[in-house]
Amino acid sequence: MTRDARNILDAALRIREERARIANYCRSLQGEDTILIRMMIGNSQMRFAPDFIAEYAQMYPTIRFNMISPPDVEEFKAGKADLINLSGQAALTDCVELPRGKMIFVPVASPAYLERHGAVEHPSELAHHRVFSTLYPHRFDFVVRYPLVKNGLTMTFSAIETIRFSNVIMTHQAVLNGAGIAPCMPLALCIDDLEAGRLVPILNGWHRPVHTSVLACKKEDWKIRHIRLFATWWAQKLSAHERSCEKRLVDLFGRSFLTNLTH
């Protein structure tokens, strides 16, 4: 930073804060025919998010929505969205966070893949398979590393992949096609395929730890009625959906299977 930049930094930050305050005030005065709600959502929500938004839009037909995917915390902080869906920890301050269920991960493969390559029962066997994941330090990285747990034990899975997808929808499709396996597929994304037999669990109980999911809104935006009402509805809707997915998983594999995935 140059000397001149340092000299005006505090003033520039105050200008940005005042601009945001004015924008929030103007948005709070919007009529129903001009309301815009901007929300960042994860790719794993693509299967059900359009139906949920359509349901809310039917109740409030004059509201406009901008659904932004994938979430970007820095852009959210910069004011480019009113709401952000997050799983796991995020460095957010001055925000209201609404719980919206848990992010449960199921290690899966297609039956056709397992017929060709054999069962995958332990994390140590992953080195012999093409593994698809979206858990990278950043979107340009090829190295994936995260823990897998089972009955209080922890192993760190690490791999350098030859094919990677930064979008979980592409990962999901690749696994369905039998091109590889996924050690951490979000439950809400794969429950239909588990019920239909297109995907089956692998790793004999080893799984990625569950994440808490939240919907975050800046405290200033929380004061705006239409944002607050929609945020509350959305968080409750997603929580109910997560619970329904968990029930369907129990119906398939039993209560102990779900309990293991959430511990």
Angle between helices 225-253 and 187-196 (to 10 degrees): 40
pLDDT recorded at residue 242? 94
| Positions of E strands within the chain | 36-40, 64-68, 83-87, 95-103, 105-109, 143-150, 153-160, 182-186, 200-201, 211-218
Q: Say if CB 175 and CB 182 are below 8 A apart.
A: yes
**In 10 A of CB 19, how many CB atoms?**
11
Please indicate whether the domains covering 31-102+212-247 and 105-209 agree at the CATH topology level. yes
- pTM check: above 0.85: no
Q: Say if CB 221 and CB 81 are below 8 A apart.
A: no
Structure tokens given for 168? 């979980």
pLDDT, tens digit only, all 263 positions of the chain: 898 998 899 998 888 888 777 766 666 655 555 689 999 998 889 889 999 999 999 999 989 999 999 899 989 999 999 999 998 766 788 899 999 988 999 999 999 999 999 999 999 998 889 998 876 556 677 777 788 999 989 998 777 677 888 788 999 999 999 999 999 999 999 999 999 999 999 999 999 999 889 999 999 999 998 999 999 999 999 999 999 999 999 999 999 999 999 98
Q: Say if CB 180 and CB 129 are below 8 A apart.
A: yes
The phi, psi pair for 255, rounded to 5°, reads -65, -35
Widest distance between CA atoms in the chain: 66
CA distance 83 to 228: 10
Q: Report the sign of the C-alpha dihedral through residues 112, 118, 123, 125, in that order.
A: negative
pLDDT recorded at residue 238? 95
pLDDT recorded at residue 105? 95
Q: Tell the residue number behind the tokens 């690749």, with chain if given.
A: 174
CA distance 83 to 86: 10
pLDDT recorded at residue 159? 72
Q: Give the model confidence (pLDDT) of 16-63 as tens digits.
A: 888 777 766 666 655 555 689 999 998 889 889 999 999 999 999 989
pLDDT recorded at residue 229? 95
Give Cα 244 distance to the centre of its chain.
17
pLDDT recorded at residue 110? 98
pLDDT recorded at residue 133? 82
Q: Say if CB 205 and CB 150 are below 8 A apart.
A: yes
CA distance 177 to 175: 5
The phi, psi pair for 63, rounded to 5°, reads -75, 140
pLDDT recorded at residue 70? 87
Q: Is 31-102+212-247 in CATH node 3.40.50.720?
A: no
pLDDT recorded at residue 32? 55
Q: Is 105-209 in CATH node 3.40.190.290?
A: yes
Domain ranges of the chain: 31-102+212-247, 105-209
Q: Tell the residue number behind the tokens 């968080």, with chain if given.
A: 235
